Amino acid sequence: MGQEAVIIPEKIFFKIGEVCNILDVQAHVLRYWETEFPMLSPQKNRSGQRTYRRRDVEMALRIKDLLYEDLYTIAGAKKRLQKEIKEGTKLKVVKTEKEAEKEKEELRVDDSIDTELLEIEDFELESDQPPLINEAADPELSKDRREALKSLASQLLELREMLKSDQTLKAEEHINKM
Mean pLDDT of 97-110: 65
Q: Where are the domains of the chain?
A: 7-87, 99-177
pLDDT band, residue 115 (cuts 50/70/90): low
82/170 Cα distance (integer angstroms): 60
Question: What pLDDT was estimated at residue 52?
Answer: 96
Question: What pLDDT was estimated at residue 27?
Answer: 96
48/51 Cα distance (integer angstroms): 9
- Report whether 5 contacts 97 (CB < 8 A): no
pLDDT band, residue 73 (cuts 50/70/90): very high
Mean pLDDT of 4-28: 92
Question: What pLDDT was estimated at residue 156?
Answer: 81
Among 67, 57, 54, 72, which residue's Cα sits nearest to residue 12?
Answer: 54
Mean pLDDT of 120-130: 46
Poorest-confidence range of 14-28, 88-102, 162-176? 88-102
Question: What pLDDT was estimated at residue 79?
Answer: 94
Poorest-confidence range of 33-47, 107-121, 124-138? 124-138
Residue 64 has pLDDT above 60, yes or no: yes
Mean pLDDT of 63-70: 95
Taking only the tens place, the pLDDT of each residue in 33-53 is 999 999 999 999 999 999 999
Residue 112 has pLDDT above 90, yes or no: no
37/62 Cα distance (integer angstroms): 11
Question: What pLDDT was estimated at residue 155?
Answer: 82
Taking only the tens place, the pLDDT of each residue in 144-164 is 777 777 788 878 887 777 777
Which residues make Cβ contacts (< 8 Å) with residue 132, sequence separation at least 6? 120, 121, 123, 125, 145, 149
Which residues make Cβ contacts (< 8 Å) with residue 63, sequence separation at least 6? 33, 37, 40, 77, 81
For domain 7-87, the CATH class is mainly alpha
* 142 vs 66: which has the higher pLDDT: 66
